[in-house]
Structure 1
């Protein structure tokens, strides 16, 4: 794995074929973030790759911990924070 501070010699080209409308959308988004098209696409692809790998992460726990986890999930929400949240003014209601 290379870092984002790797020397130029470690960079390799990637060629993509995309529709004009998608390219325009990417260009507008890149400009809004003050990035080049390449930098924007690399950042977006890296984030998507990290998310895809994190979604595949397996967490193993002992049976008692798993039972406790399921019991907590089965509990109805409650507490002061939950009450405040449910009673907070809603901006979409007059």
Structure 2
């Protein structure tokens, strides 16, 4: 009996305007990737982002109560964040401090 082999990859065909292909090719070249690899990664990343945006967060009533209590507490300054925001951005003059 012949053995059935499942395909690991499936073709996907798209029709795109020339301008879109030019942008994709330019970006793929900058990353040193093929057009196919670049588009696959970008499409998967976009799909994962959508799924994460719509994923429900589940917690017990006690955990939710603790979470809401933590959000209701007054803010406390974080010294490391204060220091970070006082630094100059790398593109500003100076060494970044």
Superposition TM-score, scaled by structure 1 size: 0.71
Secondary structure of 1:10 counterpart: coil
Task: Measure the CA separation in 1 of the matches of 2:88 and 2:71.
Answer: 26
Unmatched 5+ stretches in structure 2: 1-6
Q: Report the structure number with the largest CA radius of gyration.
A: 2
Q: Tell me the number of residue pairs that the alignment of Structure 1 and Structure 2 aligns.
A: 85
Q: Say if 1:12 and 1:79 are closer, same or farther in 2 by CA, change over 3 A.
A: closer
Q: Say if 1:81 and 1:15 are closer, same or farther in 2 by CA, change over 3 A.
A: same
Mapped pair 1:76 → 2:70: no
CA offset digits 1:9-64 (Å, max 9, x no partner):
53222111111111100000111111111111011111111222222221211223
Superposition TM-score, scaled by structure 2 size: 0.70
Structure 1 equivalent of residue 13 of structure 2: 15
Structure 1 equivalent of residue 57 of structure 2: 59
RMSD in angstroms over aligned alpha carbons?
2.3
